[in-house]
Structure 1
């Protein structure tokens, strides 16, 4: 990284520590899967934390739980459309038909918090059962109707993981995620060296230690401790996946919007266990976290090949979400990513080449482009309109990856002699000529000379 970039990043962290009035702050930037910068600031000169110092990461814990759930889905152990009660039948009277996917995206309509007292400041032993976490009337909105952040919803997901794995969710996390990614300093309870959490008085320069509680059933909502070095590995995973944990295509699905944004936060959104943010004309994914005495944030921009994170040890003050996003933006603007060099695709067969070029849906012109790996891209010839990348399937069809055609099947319909008659995309017929008389146009067409 260029010295001028490093200085800008270091200055931004120093300003955040001073203006946010926090005892310490540590941050990192990841580029193309590797940590390229770490920085820190502290109230004690010469004793700033390093990338191995643990901080509590709060709700960033939810991203780890979501990955465990997605692994179960990839194994066929559950479906995101499954009612939670299929796997946790004891919750039937409390959660109704809420689905696994709705819990992941916070669209279940369940309460944002547990019944009193506040779970973050009380021993988890006070709520030994899921019913104690949910309370007598947890439903605040109809399932699927709106985004309503729910901490108890992630307690349910942690219990679901335990039920299907037959082991504590923390043990499953260690074996299936943390160890494969080399995240050996991410733990349920703090391990030295670890920062202490503090509350800083809003109107005076004094601070008081915060109490740290073990949250029991609520642990999947915010229990984990981690380091800048480990969260840098996590950022690399959220940007690109890891074949031993979740493939890149599945992590990409987690980064897609799965819940409507709140009217009060139109630049925000939520995927499958990941917060989404539109900032500086970039689409970011990641999560923020807070627990008494701690704040944390991690954001990734896959388009830039970048991730950034920030950890601090005070209850309120530093805007760590904005800080992490700023660190990412500083790096992207000062050292923009070089595009991958174009290379011709290998082994594209003639059948695929026959599909390339212009097609028409009615009278609207589209272009079909053939990319490496047999991936197709269909989009308007000119101007805005519906377009999508299409991923090849084993049966010779393609599945849309985004936009209007996400999940829809594209197939080439051939005549008896093997030539292509038309493309069928979710019953839309695309032809080589506008309303081609030789193709089966739904409803018929009189022809241009009629």
Structure 2
């Protein structure tokens, strides 16, 4: 484990101690993750008479959803499904078969938040047939795509999707494809070894009540799993881009993109594909919160700095666990800001240097740079505006694919003179020329014959 400065460690521990005391958590353990590994951890309170450590298990609740989503994205990357596929394509026989896989991943399908009947988080669950038989048209609460409506049911459905396409249980698929490759060997559906008992803390007295922990059956993909600091540190690093080939980093970045904003309050929260998003302390964080009776959990990462943090508590309520994690992350970056990567010369492929420099969209100057990985970066020369990165399509036609910003998904094509000199760029019908409104380029609408005048 990489060491942090004593002053930083004290500040982090004090924040954990304050939250455990004011939130009245029987125990609380937290950690900071940097460069793909545990950088610091601390704990307060007790589990069976001892301080919890990095291998003490807690229920992680809805963080389970993120692990299920990883398998769904693996299936997509393998070509086994498309995110635009209706559910009926893979799991026929439901009352909501027209919802897409993307709707379910991003909680935008309008499905009910909880399964019908007794509250699933405190009740033993049945199998898929039992769950599906209870999900009629009345469980559709909103038009698909209209709004963000968190649906535990949707992830029960995704668990069944994974089971059918993998020919095994959702849990076995998560174990084989996510937990094992990331080294999350303590993460499990039922606790073994050292683990915390979940408690409800009385609101007006310092007494506790044990909470039950049942097998949720078909609803288990929504929040069944238990984990520990060591394992969640690996997943926190994964969300930040240290993917260990479980998914391509581009796919994890896609999971972190906002599919929908939570419009129920200030626009500070959203949801991607299996990941929650939050803007806190000026940082754009990605990860997930989790709660089950007796437990609270959160993991969040700032992809911009590579710093992540997590926390686990065995209390039903009272602990501001998302605020705690955001504060730990911000404290680590404030007291020990990560150093920027060292600059080193990087080779440039033949023909790329001549693309760089000044280009104009109409009269507006833009700079085109080559990035160290051979991608291109196009952005206004001054001020804000449309900026995007591009990677080569590799089809031999001098074409580049927009990766982010306004031009995400659009194609940039380089047009050259007969001697090979770049003449103009065609980007989604916008023509960029070396000089403003070059009359020798196919500027839309043409260029006035009289040229520029005073």
Distance 1:148 1:435, change over 3 A: same
Aligned runs of 1:406-417 on 2, under 5 Å? 406-417=408-419
> What is the Cα deviation at residue 120 of structure 1?
0.7
Distance 1:167 1:274, change over 3 A: same
Q: What TM-score results when the alignment is normalised by the length of structure 2?
A: 0.95
Distance 1:260 1:435, change over 3 A: same
Match of 2:380 in 1: 380
- 1:392 lines up with 2:389 in the alignment: no
> What is the Cα deviation at residue 393 of structure 1?
2.3
> What is the Cα deviation at residue 416 of structure 1?
3.2
Gaps of 5+ in 2: none
User: Helix, strand or coil for the counterpart of 1:240?
Assistant: coil
Aligned runs of 1:23-422 on 2, under 5 Å? 23-42=26-45, 47-91=50-94, 94-125=95-126, 128-132=129-133, 134-346=135-347, 348-395=348-395, 396-422=398-424
User: Helix, strand or coil for the counterpart of 1:52?
Assistant: coil
Question: 2:449 & 2:53 partners in 1: Cα distance?
Answer: 73
Root-mean-square deviation (CA, aligned residues, Å) is 1.6
Question: 1:126 & 1:265 partners in 2: Cα distance?
Answer: 38
Contact 2:357 2:368 in 1 (8 A): yes
Question: 1:414 & 1:83 partners in 2: Cα distance?
Answer: 43
Contact 2:115 2:131 in 1 (8 A): no
Contact 1:95 1:138 in 2 (8 A): no
Mean CA deviation greater in 237-246 or 302-311: 237-246
Mean CA deviation greater in 263-272 or 28-37: 263-272
Deviations 1:266-323 (A, max 9, x none): 1111111111111111111000000000000000012112110000001001111111
> What is the Cα deviation at residue 46 of structure 1?
7.0
Question: 2:278 & 2:142 partners in 1: Cα distance?
Answer: 24
Deviations 1:191-224 (A, max 9, x none): 1211000011111111110011110100111001
Deviation >6 Å, runs of 4+: none
User: Helix, strand or coil for the counterpart of 1:89?
Assistant: coil
Mean CA deviation greater in 259-268 or 145-154: 259-268
Question: 1:386 & 1:70 partners in 2: Cα distance?
Answer: 29
Which of 420, 425, 437 aligns to 1:435? It is 437
The number of aligned residues is: 447
Question: 1:109 & 1:45 partners in 2: Cα distance?
Answer: 42
Contact 1:10 1:39 in 2 (8 A): yes
Distance 1:133 1:293, change over 3 A: farther
Question: 1:133 & 1:221 partners in 2: Cα distance?
Answer: 17
Question: 2:119 & 2:335 partners in 1: Cα distance?
Answer: 43
Question: 2:115 & 2:192 partners in 1: Cα distance?
Answer: 28
Distance 1:8 1:46, change over 3 A: farther
User: Helix, strand or coil for the counterpart of 2:352?
Assistant: helix
User: Helix, strand or coil for the counterpart of 2:298?
Assistant: strand
Which of 8, 14, 17 aligns to 1:14? It is 17
Mean CA deviation greater in 223-232 or 248-257: 248-257
Distance 1:64 1:393, change over 3 A: same
Question: 1:264 & 1:133 partners in 2: Cα distance?
Answer: 31
> What is the Cα deviation at residue 417 of structure 1?
3.0
Distance 1:191 1:200, change over 3 A: same
Contact 2:238 2:244 in 1 (8 A): no
> What is the Cα deviation at residue 130 of structure 1?
4.0
Gaps of 5+ in 1: none
Question: 1:314 & 1:172 partners in 2: Cα distance?
Answer: 30
Contact 1:115 1:135 in 2 (8 A): no
> What is the Cα deviation at residue 406 of structure 1?
1.2
Deviations 1:219-273 (A, max 9, x none): 1110010001100011011101424301211111111111123241411111111
User: Helix, strand or coil for the counterpart of 2:262?
Assistant: coil
Q: What TM-score results when the alignment is normalised by the length of structure 1?
A: 0.96
